[in-house]
Structure 1
Amino acid sequence: MPRKADSRRSQTARSGSSSHHVVNVEMTDGSSAGSVDGIGFCIFRVPQSLSEINQMAYQPNTVPIGPYHHGKPQFQKIQEHKQRFSIDLLNRTKQKRDKLKHFAEALKPTEEKIRKCYSEALAFKSDELIEMMVLDGSFIIELFCKYYRKLAGHTDPGHDPLLTEPWVLPFLMRDLAKLENQIPWFVLQHLFDLTLGSWNESHPSLSDLALSFFNRMVQRPDNDLKKYSDWEGEHLLNFLRLTNNPDSPETKQKPNKFLRLIQPANKLHQAGIKFKPTHCASFMDIKFSNGVLEIPVLKFDDFLSCLFLNFVAFEQCHRASSKHVTAYATFMACLLNTPADAGLLCDRKIIERYFGTDEKIAHFFSNIGKDVVFDIHKNYLCQVFQDVNTYNEKDWRVHWASFKNTYFNSRWSLISAVAAFLLLALAAIQSFFAVRTYYQPQSSPNPSSPNHQ
């Protein structure tokens, strides 16, 4: 079941209730990490093996959130915007400015819980940490509110530069969805309840505001988003991951010769497997039936590629998390082995390329699988891996398709094949008559012939 507002601590049931052996993160006291209630790690430093591939995908470019990148000199200007947004949030709720002190007092009892959400010890003093949580949390909530009002047609006084400058919002959205740039969801929810919790039911929830904000980049239909109105995550990144996960559960399959990684897209195409684009609530909802591989359309751009990397990093670090994105990334890495494979999926309208080339897409999926632990026997695509391989090796149509693609894939190869067939047929006919002439018995002489004595 999904993690909902009336049961805010049931997240591990949605993301995978049983522990997965991909990565075994341990607490500093030696106990295993678990859910926030455990209380366990959910905000991690990205492992060096992953960050070396694309370091900028995990570190903030515009706004630091939380303790990992706090205080860096390049972010001094954005701190002024955070202060301004916090004041705007208080003004929106008709609170006095000293109410920020009240927020700090309200969060103070959760300090230990906050610290245990981070995978490394935090050197900040108590007051510094709580003040950081209040400032960053208030900034995020007010940013969501301003953007929501902008979508609704309202204009905030002053035309806020963080919302009106076209280049700023995409950077903010990417930064707020990075693993090292998170604060716990319960901090956001607590501040939201203190500031906007008095809104009536016709107003959006924190989840609604978050989905509306990020939907500029992922562009999902409103009807698909409504079912997540009361969902939560351990932080914003995990919330986005949960709302993009397919409904298919992780299953465990016994080892067999067909349960292995699949061939690249072009080889599957030559074997007669068809690729069909679909539009689903989740871009990971892959199906295979009767030789047709149905893959939801993937809008490949800077935001989605960054989101992928951070989803995978989170799943690799969080022991209790499901590994849906890791399985999807591995599946796509199998398909997109070369630029030609990427070109095939682009031609089939499965990948909508918003930046880069076929080479860049293939390179991205090739890299995303490096140094990532993946269990082929336990993932939500187990059956798809197995069915594709079974079809690829056993079905007679595969052999016919392979023959067809080898000899009839172009006009000239067709002409060559027909010519070769005609030559072979003529040679066979010639051989037949030669053999027939050789073995045919000669006619016996006629006794009545005058030459017969």
Structure 2
Amino acid sequence: MDINSQSHEKQHAITIWEVNRDRLTAMQHKLSDTPKLLSVAAGRTTCSIFKVPQTLMNVNGKSYQPTIVSIGPFHHGQLHLEMIEEHKWRFLRELLDRTEDKGMVLEDLLRAVQPLEVMARECYSTTIPYSTDEFIEMMVLDGCFIIELFRKISEVVKADDFDPLFNMPWVFSFFLRDLIRLENQIPFFVLEHLFELTKTPNSPTLVTLALRFFNKAVQRPEHVLEKYSNDKPKHLLDLLRSSFLPPELEQFTKPDNRPPPHIIHNISKLRRSGIKLKPWEAETFLVVNFKHGVIHMPSITIDDFMCVFLLNSVAYEQCHSGCSKVFTTYATLLDCLINTSRDVGLLCDWNIIENYLGTEAEVATFFNNMGKDVSFDIDDCYLARLFDNVNRHYHSGFHVQWASFRYTYFNTTWSFISALAAFVLLVLTVAQTVYTILSYIRSS
């Protein structure tokens, strides 16, 4: 390229940017902007409240969206949530009426939360568009509503005998679900701060009150809840999720000479290889093991609440950088075991699943969808040893062939009768052949 040509191109480029000066200015502004839809703080362990990824929303969108009550900024002000928004102010007024004798007024609550604003904002994965005053008001209003709700359910304070939020069963069932949705959270340290400021005499801890509240949906013995009374969770979903984690998660280290674990087959194929599934007692449904050809799984109740809980726990694990992937692993296990409604039927027959969701086909669809588009490392999960051992047993030679033979010919009465009839027919055919040969030999 000659010098004149280079000079012409340079002049042409300068002319373009001189003509589009506004565009250049706009680009320079973007260079100084910080991401808002996914903030830089979202990758830190301090960030714990996330917008659910669109890939998960496309499959199970309704399970992540609040139905009657908005908590925190993500769904604040939506029209279909206004009914409970009015009752939040009623709950706050009742709380202030109780604390007025102690000199605690609304301004005191606002001033107490103000120093927590920056730390609270950093808990959200997106930039919060509300002003300082709006954000603090939201934290106080939503936090006090949750605390008062827990106190009234546990009868720490008396509720109105005709309070519609407690006398209408459908409202309470949606409270249970809405308060564990990932997008519908406020930081637990905000709740705890407000709880301590307005604490009533002889009250259990906030963690205990919260777990008692959710125990209305997942009944567990009181001694199980007491183990977590001093926990410091990130938010309510994290609290409930943590209370189900096995006390000691098995650490799996794959030996160098062993191939990596593989995803296991569905129930129908495992049965044909002689692998069985049996229920067993455990404090949490996450404790699954495999011994002597049997997968032991605690019973799990599948209903509307549990579906929301499982989906939001998986979404939380997918988003939070410092969170173990235990629920994701469990969801992957069930997705592997269940392919069709027939697999669900077997789990129900064996008392591993209690189905209050709908048809067996709907349960199968739920578990198959729960495993879609989730990141899962089978080499580094708490069930890695189970996946490895089940696969080795599945491919371990003669006993598998014998189990398949038994399953094919002796699994049901009719298959046994058919096999017996075929065997008898074979014996008679052989006998007839032998008799014919002997007759021929004698005659000759």
Mapping 1:296-375, distance limit 5 Å: 296-375=298-377
Q: CA deviation at 1:430?
A: 4.5
Q: Distance in 2 between matches of 1:266 and 1:92?
A: 60
Q: In the alignment, what sits opposite 1:35?
A: 45
Contact 1:85 1:142 in 2 (8 A): yes
Which of 172, 175, 180 matches 1:169?
172
Cα separation, 2, equivalents of 1:226 and 1:240: 13
**SS of 2:136 mapped into structure 1:** helix
The Cα of 1:283 is off from its aligned counterpart by 1.2
- 1:260 is matched with 262
**Structure 1 gaps, min length 5:** 1-25, 443-453
Q: 2:187 matched to 1:184?
A: yes
Q: RMSD of aligned C-alpha atoms?
A: 2.4
Q: TM-score, normalised by structure 1?
A: 0.84
**1:82–1:135: 8 Å Cα contact kept in structure 2?**
yes
- More displaced 10-residue stretch of structure 1: 125-134 or 275-284: 275-284
Query: Using the alignment, how far apart are the partners of 2:123 and 2:206 within structure 1?
Result: 20
Structure with larger RCO (C-alpha < 8 A, sep 6+): 1
Structure 1 equivalent of residue 221 of structure 2: 221
Structure 2 equivalent of residue 49 of structure 1:
55
How many angstroms apart in 2 are the aligned matches of 1:88 and 1:345? 48
What's the CA shift string for 1:41-82, capped at 9, x where partnerless?
A: 110000111011122111111010000011122222222211
Give the stretch that moved more between structures: 402-411 or 166-175: 402-411
140-149 or 47-56, larger mean C-alpha shift: 47-56
Which residue, out of 122, 132, 136, partners 2:128?
A: 122
In the TM superposition, what is the alpha-carbon distance from 1:371 to its structure 2 partner?
0.8
* Other-structure match for 1:281: 283
Query: Counterparts in 2 of 1:79-228, with a 5 A limit?
Result: 79-95=85-101, 99-149=105-155, 156-196=159-199, 199-200=201-202, 203-228=203-228
Alpha carbons 2:99, 2:105 under 8 Å: kept: no
1:419, distance to aligned residue in structure 2 (A): 2.1
- Decide which moves more: 419-428 or 164-173: 419-428
Q: 1:97–1:66: structure 2 CA closer, same or farther, 3 Å change rule?
A: farther
Higher share of residues assigned helix? 2
Q: 1:280 & 1:90 partners in 2: Cα distance?
A: 43
Secondary structure of residue in 1 paired with 2:169 = coil
Separation (CA, whole Å) in 2 of partners of 1:131 and 1:313: 28
Q: Which amino acid aligns with 1:363?
A: T
Q: How far does the alpha carbon of each residue in 1:116-150 deviate from its partner, in whole angstroms, 9 at most, with x for none?
A: 1000101110111011100100000000000000x
Q: How many residues align?
A: 406
Q: Give structure 2 stretches of 5+ with no counterpart.
A: 1-36
Letter paired with 1:289? K
Asked whether the 8 Å contact 2:261–2:388 carries over to 1, the reply is yes
Q: Secondary structure at the match of 1:54?
A: helix
Q: 1:104 & 1:372 partners in 2: Cα distance?
A: 40
Q: How does 1:228-239 map to 2 (within 5 A)?
A: 228-239=228-239
Q: Specify the alignment match of 1:411 in structure 2.
A: 413
Q: Which residue of 2 aligns with 1:22?
A: none
Please give the residue correspondences for 1:393-404 in structure 2 after superposition, counting only pairs within 5 Å: 393-394=395-396, 396-404=398-406
Measured after TM superposition, the shift of residue 111 of structure 1 is 1.0
Moved more, 409-418 or 308-317: 409-418
What secondary structure is seen at the aligned counterpart in 1 of 2:418?
Answer: helix
**Secondary structure at 1:275 match in 2:** strand
Tell me by how many angstroms 1:155 deviates. 5.2
Shift of 1:110: 1.4
Equivalent position SS for 1:52: helix
CA distance in 2, matches of 1:247, 1:439: 78
In structure 2, what is the equivalent of residue 6 of structure 1?
Answer: none
Using structure 2 for the length normalisation, give the TM-score.
0.86
Answer with 170-179 or 413-422: which moved more.
413-422
Q: Distance in 2 between matches of 1:114 and 1:259?
A: 41
Tell me the SS of whatever aligns to 1:284: coil
Q: Per the alignment, in what secondary structure is the counterpart of residue 62 of structure 1?
A: coil
Asked whether the 8 Å contact 2:42–2:126 carries over to 1, the reply is no
Instruction: Please tell me the residue identity of whatever aligns with 2:152.
Output: K
Distance 1:84 1:32, change over 3 A: closer
Q: Which residue of 2 aligns with 1:15?
A: none
1:267, distance to aligned residue in structure 2 (A): 1.6
